[in-house]
């Protein structure tokens, strides 16, 4: 059965979108195959290449890479929520601020948990010891490479902002892609790590958006007149009024 819900176009037009469960399952299976291929075929040679040729631009890339740190998005979005909810009383803006905050925060949290569970060695272990392995449940930063937290936070922020402001989604997603790839260039992660981080961010942001939708809260730029359910009592209390 397809799940139907309201989406908005970049021009603010409302459309009904259907996302069949089969299509999502196939997408997840394709992502798993891609990750497996990257781990087996691409990660090691690409890491060696970046180590040999990335020194000249390492400092500049490292600065750009820092944009994947969650604090860049968590602090401003939380401030937007607090100010909009309790000071200026703008529930729609408060909802958008909390949406971005939750998207980035939950993606980062899920990433941190998976890092420990998976226990994948970082490229530096490969360079130092020749190790390319998985040590599960090791509280050791050298074995917390998969998935990339920077890639997950950058992708979650871009995806969340793309929902809020779809007109700029191409620029946002390209920016997140650039930040994610810097993690490979400075050999902090393997390519499959950043792909997994971005995929995880997508799953989290989609889940958060659907949760908001189930509570009758629109986080896009336009709301269809009479086309959606009214905000739940929980949403009204959380954001102060109808969103």
Distance between CA 165 and CA 158 in Å, rounded?
A: 10
pLDDT number for residue 7: 45
Could you tell me if 148 and 36 are in contact, meaning their C-beta atoms sit under 8 angstroms apart?
no
**What counts of helices (H) and strands (E) characterise the chain?**
10, 2
Distance between CA 193 and CA 87 in Å, rounded?
A: 41
pLDDT number for residue 19: 54
Which of residues 212 and 241 earns the better pLDDT score? 212
Give per-residue pLDDT as tens, 74-107.
999 999 999 999 999 999 999 999 999 999 999 9
Alpha carbon 114 to chain centroid, angstroms: 14
**Domains of the chain from N-terminus onward:** 19-239 (1.20.144)
For the segment 130-154, the average pLDDT, to the nearest whole number, is: 93
- For CA atoms 237, 240, 242, 243, the dihedral sign is negative
Distance between CA 159 and CA 100 in Å, rounded?
A: 9
pLDDT number for residue 183: 95
pLDDT number for residue 112: 96
Ranges of beta strands (E only) in the chain are: 2-8, 14-20
Range with lowest mean pLDDT among 12-21, 36-45, 67-76, 115-124: 12-21
Residue 101 token pair: 């905050």
Kindly indicate the confidence band of residue 9, based on its pLDDT and cuts at 50, 70 and 90: very low
Taking the CA atoms of the chain, what radius of gyration do you get in angstroms? 20
């Amino acid at each position: 059965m397809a799940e139907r819900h309201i989406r908005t176009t970049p021009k603010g037009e409302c459309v009904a979108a259907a996302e069949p469960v089969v299509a999502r399952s196939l997408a997840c299976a394709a992502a798993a195959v891609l990750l497996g291929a990257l781990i087996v075929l691409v990660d090691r040679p690409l890491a060696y290449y970046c180590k040999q040729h990335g020194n000249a631009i390492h400092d500049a890339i490292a600065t750009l890479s820092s944009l994947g740190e969650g604090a860049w998005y968590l602090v401003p979005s939380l401030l937007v929520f607090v100010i909009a909810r309790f000071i200026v009383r703008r529930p729609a803006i408060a909802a958008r601020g909390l949406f971005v905050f939750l998207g980035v925060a939950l993606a980062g949290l899920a990433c941190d948990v998976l890092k420990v569970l998976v226990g994948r060695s970082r490229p530096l272990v490969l360079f130092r010891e020749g190790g390319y392995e998985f040590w599960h449940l090791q509280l050791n930063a050298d074995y917390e490479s998969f998935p990339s937290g920077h890639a997950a936070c950058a992708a979650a922020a871009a995806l969340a902002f793309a929902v809020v402001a779809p007109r700029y989604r191409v620029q946002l997603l390209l920016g997140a892609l650039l930040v994610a790839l810097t993690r490979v260039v400075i050999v902090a992660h393997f390519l499959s790590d950043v792909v997994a981080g971005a995929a995880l961010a997508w799953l989290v942001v989609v889940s958060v958006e659907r949760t908001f939708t189930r509570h009758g809260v629109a986080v896009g730029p336009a709301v269809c007149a009479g086309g959606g359910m009214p905000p739940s009592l929980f949403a009204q209390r959380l954001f102060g009024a109808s969103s």
